[in-house]
Structure 1
């Protein structure tokens, strides 16, 4: 019996939507050769991660084994799959493989961090393959909401694994490659050991719809509008951007793209050849000089992002354009859970201007890029794998997808981030657990989620902050009174006296009464001053403030 094993290990994307990072390995235990599938990010929120710029997967386990990493494969160019390549490349150092459009985006991200674009290799679609140690990997085209999305066909000494990436079954996707069941059936012929499969829409009961299904609805909506029309969608959804632009042209309007991400994605699509017939567009300057009823803006910011074009327009004006009463704003997108507050803020701001806001209205103006429940069943039955391993979803999605696979007569195993699964033999089994989590990009540095930095930031936000300074002479006697600086706390408390004055008086009394041993010991002195400051803040303003004590001694 061979001592070599085939393993699967999710480090991100299994138990959440976003931050995808998956590892496959083959070889002796603890000496497997490895490949990585996707290096994505997720986005912070002010409630749980204030001040954080991006959230990256914790790749400490991979970094410790970087000499065993054969390659990194990127399935498509969404941020939650490619967004971390520039940030993490130094720690992994393995060659990166992707198809042309995704490689173009990846090279841009690498360049932002000073990495050579030669680290990214452009590959062709299946049946061409890349050999990486014991693995042979091919990029199998599939439709999604961004061009050149691919599943991965991973041939191993123990059989074929198909990693679907994000996908939908769309025979007419407008931009990108159509769903081709014949090619997928050919891939399945040798037998599929494991299907590692997207779970995002497992709770959606109806079959997925094509991008072409919404074109007529969009045109009718735009044609009925009297003022300016503004539509937002994901910048990466080039097919939707094209659908919106074409609907606007058919309704007699000139099209203006606004937002750097929107223009960058369209330019990348043209450069890499996935988009050849995008309608002509006008500049923001020309749009400002065109009658409102003849203009349509297609803008970034479908998730309420504060710096995006939608939010800027909601704040008043952007690149000379301003919305007013009677204009129409369309969300041709679905709000990602967690972004509702930002989207509602934008909607209310437009409402106050008298702008009519329309959302996707149950699918009239938006279709998902992920396979719904019946589509997952179609995939299970077409591929006939030995096992389905759900990925790309919260725990509830993974669990439901696993139940669906079993109902379809396929064994399944649930593997959340950090769960190592052995795919060797006829039945998958958990082979161990890896400590995993999140890394925060905080400004220009990467910090651990458990380092305490964000925790301290949250505590200061919730409770305010007091800085206490004291000076002691060479005999450990106080020189003058302690003094305080307060941030994020009410200036006046229950005693109707300034909080700063009350704090300084209480701290001075403690300092004068403290014994010589306490004043001579920095740790004891700091502990006592913190205790008094927190008690005073609680008594005065009902907040147990964060306290920083600075003790200076004269020698």
Structure 2
């Protein structure tokens, strides 16, 4: 009997939304050949990851086995699925397979980081398949909020696995292929061992709505507007961008695309043939000569990003254009949990200008790109897999999805990041646990989440910082008084004296009475100086700052 096994190992995206990275392996334990599905990012926030540029999955376990990785397959071009490709290509230098639109985006990311664009190989939709080690993989079209999304049909020696990717069941998606239930039924009729499935909207009880349903409401809103109209959505949602542009065009407005990501996505969609008939656009410079009531701007920044076009417009002029009282700003998007403060900040800034802000609180101007609970059930019914492995969701989503599958007669299992699942038997089982986590892109350097860099940054942000400098002569006696520099601390404490002077006075008194043994030992001296600074600061300002001690000795 063969002791080879089929395994599934999420390294990101299972137990969270974002940073997707899913590993499949086949072979003898500890000798499997692997393919990786998606390699994405998630985004930092000032509360938990101040100063960090991007958050990437921790692929240390995979890097140690990179010689057994045969290929990477990208389901679609959202940042949480493709955004880490260029950052890890040096560690995982294998072919990257994707459909044309996604491949266009991935190549751009690789070339920006100095990697060869030839690493990305374009694959046509099903029934074309790619051989990668023991796997044969095909791209099965599925609708989502970005063009040319695909599920993956993964044929293995132990049977067929379908990895859904992000999906919705949309018969009229405006851009891209509609959901084809007959094709999915055909692909599934020979039996599917496991469906690894999107769980994002498992708690939404109503069937999802089509992208095509938004046109009339958006068109009426734009038609009724009196001043300039500005709308934001996810730049990658090319279908929505087209719907907005067409609404503006029918209202007799000139269309302006603002924001690098917005222009890049539209250009990529046009270059790869997935977008046609897009209204003519004018440049921001040309728009300055057009009456504002005849303008519609489509801008980036639907999540309140500080440097995006929406936030820039809320603070003043952007590329020569400015919003004024009586203008209309439309958020044709859903606010991702965690981004509420940034979005509300932009809304309030517009309100102060007298701009009318319309969001999607009534559901008229946005539809989700993910399948709701009835749509997930419908996909289960079409595929009828032996096992359902929920992915792309927080733990509560995965657990609810697994319960749903089990109630419908399928084996459902919750597999979070680092949990290796053996799919070879009749029932999925946990084979082992792998350490996973996060990697921070901090400037141009990748650092581990446990390296302490971000932790120390947070501590400085919370507590402030004091630098203490002491000079000792050849006899280990203080040469002059110690001095302090502070950052992020109040200048005056409870004694009404300057904080720096109080700190220096207490430190000077300590040095004047310190024993020779203490003055000779850098470690002991540093510990005492730090203790005094923290105690004095606590008494003066109610804070225990981070302290750096610099001891210089004359020899």
Matched, 1:226 2:229: no
Which SS does the other structure have where 2:362 is aligned? helix
Shift of 1:287: 1.5
**What does 1:357-436 correspond to in 2, within 5 Å?**
357-436=357-436
**Aligned partners of 2:366, 2:407: CA distance in 1, in Å?**
30
Cα deviation, 1:59-118, whole Å, max 9, x if unaligned, reads 000000000001000000000000000000101111100011000100000001110011
**Aligned partners of 1:340, 1:116: CA distance in 2, in Å?**
38
Cα deviation, 1:339-398, whole Å, max 9, x if unaligned, reads 000000000000000000000133200000000000000011110001100000111111
**Aligned partners of 1:453, 1:281: CA distance in 2, in Å?**
45
Matched, 1:32 2:35: no
**Aligned partners of 2:420, 2:362: CA distance in 1, in Å?**
38
**Aligned partners of 1:368, 1:402: CA distance in 2, in Å?**
22
Moved more, 399-408 or 9-18: 399-408
**What does 1:109-508 correspond to in 2, within 5 Å?**
109-508=109-508
Shift of 1:511: 1.2
Shift of 1:4: 0.3
**Aligned partners of 2:441, 2:154: CA distance in 1, in Å?**
32
Cα deviation, 1:24-81, whole Å, max 9, x if unaligned, reads 0000001100000000000000000000000000000000000000100000000000
Shift of 1:248: 1.0
**Aligned partners of 1:100, 1:254: CA distance in 2, in Å?**
30
**Aligned partners of 1:468, 1:518: CA distance in 2, in Å?**
17
Which SS does the other structure have where 1:25 is aligned? strand
**Aligned partners of 1:372, 1:163: CA distance in 2, in Å?**
17
Cα deviation, 1:265-291, whole Å, max 9, x if unaligned, reads 000000111112101111112212111
**Aligned partners of 1:333, 1:408: CA distance in 2, in Å?**
33
Shift of 1:475: 1.1
Matched, 1:523 2:523: yes
Cα deviation, 1:416-448, whole Å, max 9, x if unaligned, reads 000000001100000110000000000010000
Aligned structure 1 segments of 4 or more residues deviating by more than 3 angstroms: none
**Aligned partners of 1:108, 1:283: CA distance in 2, in Å?**
23
**Aligned partners of 1:265, 1:421: CA distance in 2, in Å?**
36
Shift of 1:490: 0.2
Shift of 1:254: 1.2
**Aligned partners of 1:347, 1:535: CA distance in 2, in Å?**
43
**Aligned partners of 1:125, 1:269: CA distance in 2, in Å?**
16
Query: In the alignment, which residue of structure 2 is the partner of 1:67?
Result: 67
**Aligned partners of 1:238, 1:554: CA distance in 2, in Å?**
66
**Aligned partners of 1:164, 1:476: CA distance in 2, in Å?**
69
**Aligned partners of 1:112, 1:128: CA distance in 2, in Å?**
29
**Aligned partners of 2:344, 2:290: CA distance in 1, in Å?**
29
Query: In the alignment, which residue of structure 2 is the partner of 1:22?
Result: 22
Cα deviation, 1:450-493, whole Å, max 9, x if unaligned, reads 00000000000000000000001111100011100000000000
Q: What is the alpha-carbon root mean square deviation over aligned residues?
A: 0.6
**Aligned partners of 2:289, 2:405: CA distance in 1, in Å?**
57
**Aligned partners of 2:319, 2:102: CA distance in 1, in Å?**
30
Aligned length: 555
**Aligned partners of 2:73, 2:512: CA distance in 1, in Å?**
66
**Aligned partners of 1:462, 1:553: CA distance in 2, in Å?**
32
**Aligned partners of 2:210, 2:362: CA distance in 1, in Å?**
14
**Aligned partners of 1:466, 1:445: CA distance in 2, in Å?**
26
**Aligned partners of 2:461, 2:511: CA distance in 1, in Å?**
28
Query: In the alignment, which residue of structure 2 is the partner of 1:57?
Result: 57
Name stretches of at least 5 consecutive residues in structure 1 with no aligned partner. Answer: none
Shift of 1:231: 0.3
Name stretches of at least 5 consecutive residues in structure 2 with no aligned partner. Answer: none
Shift of 1:20: 0.2
Which SS does the other structure have where 1:447 is aligned? strand
Which SS does the other structure have where 1:257 is aligned? strand
Which SS does the other structure have where 1:130 is aligned? strand
**Aligned partners of 1:357, 1:246: CA distance in 2, in Å?**
20
Cα deviation, 1:223-265, whole Å, max 9, x if unaligned, reads 1111111000000000000000001111121111111110110
Shift of 1:122: 0.6
Which SS does the other structure have where 1:508 is aligned? helix
Which SS does the other structure have where 1:298 is aligned? strand
TM-score, structure 1 normalization: 0.99
Which SS does the other structure have where 1:325 is aligned? coil
TM-score, structure 2 normalization: 0.99
